[in-house]
Amino acid sequence: MKETIFYNSPVGLLSIANNGDAISEILFVKTENQSEINAIKKRITKPVTPILQKCIAQLDDYFTGKNLYFDLPIMQQGTPFQQRVWNGLLSILPGKTLSYQKFSKRLGNEKAIRAVGTANGKNNVCIVVPCHRVIGSNGSLVGYGGGLWRKQWLLQHEAKYCNGVQSMF
């Protein structure tokens, strides 16, 4: 059974969808219109499908710092290269970051930095597939579809629970 739900997180509303027994989408709801946000919040209900129930429980644990690791089946559509990038993102542990250059090198092609950035930007399962953990070569925060303030929040949140660090940036 396919289902889409909304989740009210500390970094804004998330739209979460499943595709059968896997998570197919976790995206930030992009609106600054408070009446739209309020209308969406009124539609927040408990998920029906077991996979979305599991996803919500794991997001709750993540945002409270109880557990920063996810164990969810994920299925998002993409090219073989995008799939490699997204699978590679899963190997970046909470509280850690990796530059686009080092990530490209890890994938076996140091010159694929732009392609990695493009694939990273097409990730439709934010937070769980941690595209926020990829940063610029000089350590700066660059390129996050949810906004750099969210990227910073997520990295600081993870650093706080993994390393006891209050602020990375």
- Give, for all 169 residues of the chain, the pLDDT tens digit: 688 888 999 999 999 999 989 999 999 988 777 777 777 776 676 778 899 999 999 999 999 999 999 999 999 999 999 999 999 999 999 999 999 999 999 999 888 899 999 999 999 999 999 999 999 999 999 888 889 999 999 999 999 998 776 555 5
Task: Let me know how long the chain is.
Answer: 169
Domain with CATH 1.10.10.10 in the chain: 80-163
Q: What percent of the chain has a predicted confidence (pLDDT) above 90?
A: 69
Residue of 55, 126, 131, 162 marked catalytic: 131
What is this structure's pTM? 0.89
* Catalytic (active site) residue 131: yes
- For domain 80-163, the question of CATH label 1.10.150.120 is answered with no
Residues 6+ apart with CB under 8 A from 169: 141, 152, 155, 156
